[in-house]
Amino acid sequence: MNVRIRSELPSDVAAIEAVTVAAFLKAAHTSHTEHFIVDALRRSGQLSVSLVAEDDGIIIGHIAVSPVSLSCGANDWYGLGPISVAPERQRQGVGTRLVERVLADMHGLGAAGCVLLGAPSYYSRFGFSTLPSLVLPGVPPEYFQAISFRGPVPSGTVSYHESFAAQG
């Protein structure tokens, strides 16, 4: 296995869509719209970070980061996701490498913090936890996690970009 993590290129778009569809096909919590979300974020210029995992020229994973809005007005917060690893390549450390690299890239962007919606058992290893002062309405609070890179943790309601409502 010779997996390389790198930023997406224009020529990766179809492969990113395919890996996203495949990863979420049998996932536990999914809207099956994740590939639409990635596409809508890209088209609206909201893909702050978009990384692929590539093995011998084959895209086997992808991770997206986009800006989020906080009701308190705090700046420089981002949302991590969707993240996808091809089903046959899951549990081989690819997702871990994507998350670690995306966190490093967010530091490079000057991010203040990052939120995500996902399984606490997976993301706690990267330093994410439930921060009671940050709320995403309509989801079980234990699945909404955050990591603060600098400054005090803000208090408020978090809104993802409208691309997260994309249906096609």
Ligand X SMILES: CC(C)(COP(=O)(O)OP(=O)(O)OC[C@H]1O[C@@H](n2cnc3c(N)ncnc32)[C@H](O)[C@@H]1OP(=O)(O)O)[C@@H](O)C(=O)NCCC(=O)NCCS
Q: List residues near ligand X by CB under 6 A.
A: 23-24, 27, 81, 83-85, 90-96, 118-119, 121-122
Given a contact cutoff of 8 angstroms between Cβ atoms, the answer to whether 143 and 120 are in contact is yes
How far is the C-alpha of 130 from the C-alpha of 144, rounded, in Å?
6
Q: How far is the CB of 141 from ligand X (least distance, A)?
A: 15
Residue 64 or 131: the one with the smaller Cβ distance to ligand X is 64
Residue nearest to ligand X (CB): 95
How far is the C-alpha of 38 from the C-alpha of 83, rounded, in Å?
10
Residue 72 or 165: the one with the smaller Cβ distance to ligand X is 165
> H or E segment at 100?
helix 94-109
Q: How far is the CB of 152 from ligand X (least distance, A)?
A: 26
Q: How far is the CB of 136 from ligand X (least distance, A)?
A: 13
Residue 9 or 119: the one with the smaller Cβ distance to ligand X is 119
Residue 21 or 135: the one with the smaller Cβ distance to ligand X is 21
Given a contact cutoff of 8 angstroms between Cβ atoms, the answer to whether 53 and 3 are in contact is yes
Q: How far is the CB of 58 from ligand X (least distance, A)?
A: 15
Q: In what order do the strands lie in the sheet with 69-70?
A: 69-70, 156-159, 134-135
